Amino acid sequence: MLTEERHATILNCLKEKEVVKIQELTEATGASESTIRRDLTDLEESGLLRRVHGGAAKVSRKRIEPSMGEKSNRFSEEKRAAGRLAASLIEDNDCVFIDAGTTTLALIPYIQAKNIVAVTSGFDHLRLLAEQGIEAYGTGGRLKQSTEALTGTGAVHGLQQYWFDKAFLGVNGIHLKAGYTTPDPEEAAVKTEAIKRAQQPFILADASKFQESTFAHIADLEDAVIITGKIPEKTRRMFEKVTDIKEALS
């Protein structure tokens, strides 16, 4: 049985059931456990399902289609863990903002909450959210090609139509003195506005961002809660004096 066939079989199993065990899949496909595990990893990275202990689960209410590239290894383990933790914070009926960037993109497949509304400045994010059957709004603004983000006054202006329960943002630097920073002032303006308009702002970042400082200031450390993969004990102690840290993989 070909890889593509197995992938199709797996996704078919998930069309009917909410979750499926690995053993069921090895029987359905005749492949070994290792192979099925690899398949699940691939499919998860493509955003087509969600891995759970013991097997895999549906990712969306609506469409399960190969609409994104077959194999994008965009998400590191750390980003996935942080994304998962972040997604678990979204509750039914929430209105959330999701920033552009791969870090926040990783959280979208894990969203389980029902009946939520999402606003995003990310181009890919917008499509991915809509494909999951989530009511998705774009901010508007100029499409910055390098980052695939909608930025500028157009995006800020678009944001001002909304109010959020939660906002999930990526940043480039988290610094004790400089606070949250990013190299692009236009993007910084969008992020700042989003934090302003959210009751609970969250910053998603990996360990490498701590004690880094880039050009444009977004907000002060205490203005948001940090969600991260795993960070050194020392870093954690240093920063948690100033703001909350939610550490996945700890």
Q: How far apart are CA 110 and CA 107, in angstroms?
A: 6
| 194 lies in the binding site for a copy of itself (CB under 8 A) | no
Q: How far is the CB of 189 from a copy of itself (least distance, A)?
A: 15
Closest to DNA by CB, 29 or 181: 29
User: Residue 61: helix, strand or coil by DSSP?
Assistant: coil
Q: Which does 158 bind (CB under 5 to 8 A by kind): DNA, a copy of itself, none?
A: a copy of itself
* Residues 216 and 184 sit within 8 Å (Cβ to Cβ): yes
Q: Which does 150 bind (CB under 5 to 8 A by kind): a copy of itself, DNA, none?
A: a copy of itself
- Window 122-161: contact mask with a copy of itself (x via CB under 8 A): -x--xx-xxx---xxxxxxxxx-x----x-xxxx-xx--x
* Alpha carbon of residue 10 to chain centroid: 23
Closest to DNA by CB, 9 or 213: 9
Token pair recorded at residue 64: 């399960």
Which residue of 9, 19, 41, 220 would you call a contact of DNA, by CB under 7 A? 41
Piece in contact with a copy of itself (CB under 8 A), picked from 4-12, 82-90, 174-182, 222-230: 4-12
| 73 lies in the binding site for a copy of itself (CB under 8 A) | no
Q: How far is the CB of 40 from DNA (least distance, A)?
A: 7
Q: How far apart are CA 86 and CA 92, in angstroms?
A: 14
Q: How far is the CB of 18 from DNA (least distance, A)?
A: 15
Q: Which of 46, 105, 35, 41 is nearest to 71 (CA)?
A: 46
Helix (H) / strand (E) containing 126: helix 123-131
Q: How far apart are CA 98 and CA 11, in angstroms?
A: 27
By CB under 7 A, the count of residues binding DNA is 23
Residues for the chain: how many in total?
Answer: 250
Q: Which does 8 bind (CB under 5 to 8 A by kind): DNA, a copy of itself, none?
A: a copy of itself
Token pair recorded at residue 54: 């013991």
By CB under 8 A, the count of residues binding a copy of itself is 44
Token pair recorded at residue 243: 């703001």
Could you tell me which residues come within 8 angstroms of residue 196 by beta carbon, excluding any fewer than 6 positions away? none
Q: How far apart are CA 159 and CA 198, in angstroms?
A: 11
185-196 vs 152-159: helix axis angle to the nearest 10? 0
Q: How far is the CB of 161 from a copy of itself (least distance, A)?
A: 6
Q: Which does 126 bind (CB under 5 to 8 A by kind): DNA, a copy of itself, none?
A: a copy of itself
Interface residues toward a copy of itself, by CB under 8 A: 2-5, 8, 18-19, 21, 52-55, 57, 60, 62-67, 123, 126-127, 129-131, 135-143, 145, 150, 152-155, 157-158, 161
